[in-house]
Structure 1
């Protein structure tokens, strides 16, 4: 029995439709249940709730610490296990973490005590969305140009002057800026952390004139780039890997400008 073209076309169309329906039914049954959807969303959250260093970025910091240890290291941020791994390299030195998320401190407190590090809860006043206005304010405010004798005496509102006493007492050899998160406009931004790192690197402690190494993570983001250029300066940039910049800040007292070059242009 011969089948007409029209009937053959109808049978083929019916077959393809049936196969497509069965495949769709399998996919829906497998992935559309509440538990699987919850797990999928949880995976996305877990993937992006932390922003770890890449292997090249981590190795750069690791090499720096191994060269300067034992020393004093100040970490802005404690969001990944990598931070504690770096602190362990500082045998015989002092490692202090400043973290704005109490849960991160609770999660790592026991491990931190075992490694002999300090963890302090801090609060940041400014959100990432305020970065543009803050930079304009700081450029027009003389108190933000001057390097004070002591960090806590700075009158610039960008400076972190309410930190734990240990921050003001010690001379810091290495500062790692990897916090606060700053990944969303309504989250605390890293403007004050970077500005404060720039101050700490320039304030003289007695006769010590050793430079301070400052690491800034996530320079792929606009805020981190702006404030690193402005307060850590291109002439101090000694290395970069991926989203990480390494600055070496020499002690400088009572300077009208943080950087010798012309200020960056905000577009």
Structure 2
């Protein structure tokens, strides 16, 4: 399968090993930690990435994202949500390595970036981008999304707004599991979603 993981860790070689013959890609924002993990596991397919967000801006981003048309799903299945080169949406990870956009991901795991001090990037953009990728899927099947640390208010708030409670199919401890259908299989997007109030749900 195609597996995209937000974050590098000591568990990264395990996820790589569990997906033989598949594509497993890791995204990490901390240069020092990136170098440590890559030195110990040079076979991992990993990219060093940058985030535009800060955890202490989470509330403002949450309250303002609907004012940006570039952050909202389109009215038709043919125009779900744009990520690549979408600089106008502050939640879009618009400058990731090309292979991230060129693959359709079967599973996304969000365990990064850091989200435990005010200046940290927080996971707001990772959650929004994972949602946009799931919405835009053209291939068969739903997109599985796993989000860690849902005991923290920002992760919980953004998960409920973008990944949506109706797509949550499981969870344990601090981990939630969502299965998100592409917008092309939802019929009328406005009717199937929360409309203007909760456009992704």
* Greater CA drift, 249-258 or 127-136: 249-258
Deviation, 1:142, is 2.6
Aligned partner of residue 96 in structure 1, secondary structure: strand
Shift of the 238–200 alpha-carbon distance from structure 1 to 2, 3 Å rule, reads: same
Contact 1:216 1:244 in 2 (8 A): yes
RMSD between aligned residues: 2.2
Greater RCO, 1 or 2 (C-alpha within 8 Å, sep 6+): 2
Contact preservation (8 Å) 1:149, 1:203: yes
What is the distance in 1 between the residues matched to 2:191 and 2:84?
19
Quote the Cα distance in structure 2 between the aligned partners of 1:246 and 1:162.
Answer: 26
CA distance in 2, matches of 1:187, 1:204: 30
The structure that is helix-richer by fraction is 1
Q: CA deviation at 1:131?
A: 0.3
Offset, 1:132: 0.2
Measure, in 1, the Cα distance between the counterparts of 2:102 and 2:3. 13
Task: Specify whether residues 227 and 258 from structure 1 end up closer, same or farther in structure 2 by C-alpha distance, changes over 3 A only.
Answer: farther
Partners of 1:236 and 1:247 within 8 A in 2: yes
- Once residues 252 and 134 of structure 1 are traced to their aligned partners in structure 2, the CA distance between those partners, rounded to angstroms, is 24
Deviation at 1:255, TM superposition (A): 3.6
Q: Normalised by the size of structure 1, how large is the TM-score?
A: 0.65
Report the CA distance between 1:187 and its aligned residue: 1.1
User: Cα offset for 1:144?
Assistant: 1.5
- 8 A Cα contact 1:238 1:248, kept in partner: yes
Distance, in Å, in 2 between the alignment partners of 1:124 and 1:256 is 30
Equivalent of 1:199 in 123, 127, 132: 132
Q: Does 1:77 align with 2:4?
A: no
Give the greater-gyration-radius structure (CA): 1
TM-score, length of structure 2 as denominator length: 0.85
Matched, 1:135 2:62: yes
The correspondence for 2:83, drawn from 123, 132, 151, is 151
Shift of 1:256: 4.8
Residue 94 of structure 2: aligned partner: 161
TM-aligned CA deviation for residue 125 of structure 1 = 1.1
- Per the TM alignment, residue 150 of structure 1 is displaced from its structure 2 partner at its CA by 4.8
- The answer to whether structure 1 residue 93 and structure 2 residue 16 are counterparts is no
**Is there any run of 5+ residues in structure 2 with no aligned partner, and where?**
75-79
Equivalent residue for 2:144, pick from 199, 203, 213: 213
Residue 128 of structure 1: how far off its partner (Å): 0.5
